[in-house]
Each structure stands twice: as structure tokens, then as C-alpha cells.
């Protein structure tokens, strides 16, 4: 057996994940959809599934799957148009529950977050009990269920939250971490995708114990920068703190069309609308950006992207649109267009934070 010494210090981290959030909200609001396989987003013939109910997941329907493939897997699948305004309202309710227990809340998305409850608002000693209370309050206030993982760091808490879904929780205590990781299939490691898992399998690595037998040098040589990460996590080492002020790195808008766009005028008109929506979102987030990116997906599902970094930060829809059209004119559009996207990154708020951090580092020496 490998060395089972687990380095400290440890935090009390909870990962909360709302169960099939978009789909569950739709089933809550529309009783006729309850117990049925539904997909939120897209349409029966076009688009992409944003979320699938657990009834649909039994057929293999997953988020980010094309609507056509989802319908093929589940012929009785019901497609529901998304209602982001409603989802955001529920998300705010859930966030208020989190904040009752701790100020250290790091949202990962609209439906999941990390909480550091090591030093919580009410002096609770048990993170497991806090997670139970949070899940109960979420259900009482929203009538929706959530799953939770509790452990010593974000990596372990994230893995734990997937074990007893839906509507359950799992605690992995400090003395359980290393043995748990050694037994965990490599495909279940958070952050190890299908391609990486297959590569690991080719080296005879199917679980944490087998991963642990390889040296840091081997892992870096074989997996590049990720090698250090794999070396650490299988030993229970993940020092990333819960960051309540996570900085948004980009703001963007994508649109999948009911019919492919083949005429330049239609593409240009659509890009104006998408650029305007992106600019509006920048204003809502009080952000400006320098890097503007155009994304085009064709009817054969091939994707092209092209970016341009301008001199000054902007949230102007006119300036964004002007640069998007310039990027469009640099492309040869040889196929019908299925999807268009406009993203603004390299945000001003991000750069300001980096400058503040650098300043603080200098002051500390």
C-alpha cells in the first residue's frame, strides 16, 4: 500500500449542486411535465440541450448534446424553451441561503457553488450538518432538491457531490480521503475527460491507486502541465481556496438558428443582434473588454473562431459589431451557418484585479 499520510491543514468545504436545475424548475412550474423526459433549450430539430431531466438522462440524454441526437435516444423527449429570468431568480434565493452560513461562497455557475464553512457564521462544528440544513432550506424555500459533497478541499467536495445524486450528500472525512482516491476509477476524477482517461488507460492506469504508482516526472512527461495536477490530487492535495470574488473572464452570446443561414445579409443582421446582446450583458456586469471573438459553426458542425484585441476597453455595441464584421470579412463562408457567437474577453475588471494583486504582493515584501 502506498504512503497514506495526508498533508494538512484541511478546510471544511461543501459543494452544492442543484439537481437537473433548469429541467427541475420547468417541472416545478409545469405539473404536466413532472415525471416525463424533458430537455430545456433548443428545439426538436435544431439546437443543443441545455439541461435534461433525470427521466431523460435514463435514455442517455445529456447537456450539450444536439437536439437531434437527444430525440433519437429518447423519442418521447419533450423540448421546453428556457426561461433564464426564472432560473436566475431561483438561483438568487439559493445564494441567500448559502450566505446565511458563510461569506466564503464561490459560484461555479447558476446552479452550483463551493462553500468554505471552516469558520462559519453560526459556529457549527459539523460541515455535514450544515450541508443537510442547506439542502433542507433549499427544498423548503424553492421546492427543488440539491446534492452536496463535503470534504477537505474543493476537488474532494466536487467528487463527493456526484456520488449520491440526486437529492443526497456524501462526506469524505480526512482519514478516508487517500483510500477513497485509490479506489476511485480514473474516469470519475473531476477534470479527467474521456480523452485523458483513455490515455491513462493505455498506460494501465484505471484507478487512483495505479495513478499513484507513477512518478511526477512520468506524469509531467506524459500529460504535460496537467501531470503536476494529477500527481497532487491523487494524494489529496488541492490548495485552491474558495474565492467569493471569482472574476468573470468573458461575456458572450451564441445563437443556434432554426434554419441554416446562407445569405450574407442574414448573417450580418444576426451578428448585429448578437453583438447588441453581448454589449448589454457587459453593461449589466459593469464590465468592458479588449478582445472580441467571432465564432461560426457550420451545418457540418465544424467550427471556426477568430479574435481581435483592440486598443481600449469597450462595452459599445457599435464598436463590438464593427470589429465582428471585420472578423467576418476575413473568413471564407463556404458552408451554410448553423450557429453564430460573439464573445468579449480580456475584461477590464480582471486586469484591475491583477494589478491590485501585484500591488499587494509588492507591499508584503
Residues annotated as catalytic are 112
Residue 361, exposed/middle/buried by CB under 10 A (0-12, 13-18, 19+)? Answer: exposed
Q: Produce one character per residue of 215-225: b if its CB has 16 or more CB atoms within 10 Å, e if not.
A: eeeebbebbee
Amino acid at each position: 500500500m502506498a504512503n497514506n499520510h495526508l498533508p494538512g491543514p484541511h478546510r471544511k468545504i461543501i459543494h452544492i449542486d442543484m439537481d437537473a436545475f433548469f429541467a427541475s424548475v420547468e417541472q416545478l412550474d409545469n405539473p404536466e411535465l413532472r415525471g416525463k423526459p424533458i430537455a430545456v433549450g433548443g428545439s426538436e430539430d435544431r439546437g443543443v440541450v441545455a439541461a435534461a431531466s433525470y427521466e431523460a438522462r435514463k435514455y442517455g440524454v445529456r447537456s450539450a448534446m444536439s437536439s437531434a441526437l437527444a430525440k433519437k435516444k429518447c423519442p418521447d423527449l419533450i423540448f421546453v424553451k428556457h426561461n433564464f429570468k426564472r432560473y436566475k431568480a431561483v438561483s438568487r434565493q439559493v445564494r441567500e441561503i448559502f450566505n446565511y452560513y458563510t461569506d466564503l461562497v464561490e459560484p461555479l455557475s447558476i446552479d452550483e457553488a463551493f462553500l468554505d464553512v471552516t469558520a462559519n457564521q453560526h459556529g457549527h462544528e459539523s460541515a455535514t450538518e450544515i450541508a443537510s440544513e442547506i439542502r433542507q432550506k433549499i427544498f423548503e424555500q424553492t421546492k427543488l432538491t440539491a446534492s452536496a459533497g463535503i470534504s477537505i478541499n474543493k476537488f474532494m467536495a466536487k467528487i463527493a457531490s456526484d456520488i449520491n445524486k440526486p437529492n443526497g450528500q456524501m462526506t469524505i472525512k480526512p482519514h478516508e480521503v487517500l483510500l477513497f482516491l485509490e479506489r476511485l476509477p480514473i474516469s470519475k476524477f473531476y477534470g479527467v475527460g474521456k480523452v485523458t482517461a483513455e490515455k491513462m488507460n493505455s498506460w494501465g492506469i484505471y484507478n487512483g491507486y495505479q495513478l499513484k504508482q507513477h512518478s511526477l516526472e512520468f506524469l509531467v512527461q506524459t500529460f504535460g502541465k496537467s501531470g503536476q495536477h494529477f500527481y497532487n490530487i491523487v494524494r489529496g492535495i488541492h490548495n485552491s481556496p474558495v474565492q467569493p470574488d471569482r472574476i468573470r473572464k468573458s461575456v458572450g452570446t451564441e445563437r443556434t438558428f432554426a434554419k441554416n443561414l446562407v445569405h450574407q445579409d442574414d448573417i450580418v443582421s444576426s451578428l448585429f443582434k448578437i453583438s447588441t446582446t453581448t454589449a448589454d450583458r457587459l453593461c449589466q456586469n459593469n464590465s468592458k473588454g479588449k478582445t472580441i471573438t467571432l465564432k461560426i459553426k457550420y451545418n457540418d458542425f465544424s467550427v471556426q473562431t477568430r479574435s481581435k484585441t483592440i486598443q481600449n476597453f469597450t462595452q459599445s455595441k457599435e464598436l463590438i459589431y464593427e470589429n465582428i464584421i471585420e472578423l467576418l470579412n476575413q473568413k471564407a463562408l463556404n458552408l451554410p451557418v448553423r450557429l453564430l457567437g460573439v464573445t468579449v474577453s480580456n475584461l477590464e475588471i480582471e486586469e484591475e484585479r491583477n494589478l491590485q494583486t501585484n500591488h499587494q504582493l509588492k507591499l508584503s515584501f
